[in-house]
Amino acid sequence: MFRVSTVRWRRAVARGAFAALLALTAAETHAQDVSIAEIKRKAMAGEPDNGFCAVVPWAMTNDAGEHRFLENAVVGSAEAARFAGGACSYTYVTETYPGANGKCLRYTWWACAPGKTCASGETVFCKNANGGFTRQ
């Protein structure tokens, strides 16, 4: 009897922990979605950053992280990121195609930076002969 109760108790604890994890993940996802909508709105309106990038719940990235994103991106891939200089951006891949040295990709971006007006645009990067990516 005690053994069955212990098993049930452990299962209940595990279910509770899993539910808490799902709730936390849902809250983080909601915060990301709200921040993505806000950077798009600010960029389209041409508003200043006004501290926006300092508080977004996005991971910091660097050159290696950006290279990884470009290398693995397919149509529909997206990245929300903060940068060491204080800027932040959201990018959405709209096209990939073969280039002279491998993969090229086109993406739409929305970005803000401290002391600057938020903006949006479209950029193409292609793999170069050294294995990196060059803006076209």
Given a contact cutoff of 8 angstroms between Cβ atoms, the answer to whether 113 and 85 are in contact is yes
pLDDT at 33: 84
Residue 6 pLDDT class (50, 70, 90 cuts):
low
Tokens of 102: 């491998």
Residues 82-86 have a mean pLDDT of 96
Residue 95 pLDDT class (50, 70, 90 cuts):
very high
pTM of the model: 0.75
| Average model confidence (pLDDT) across the chain | 84
pLDDT cut 70: percent of the chain above it? 76
pLDDT beyond 50 at 44: yes
pLDDT beyond 70 at 42: yes
pLDDT at 29: 45
Tokens of 109: 């971006």
pLDDT at 122: 98
Residue 90 burial class via C-beta count within 10 angstroms: exposed 0-12, middle 13-18, buried 19 and up: buried
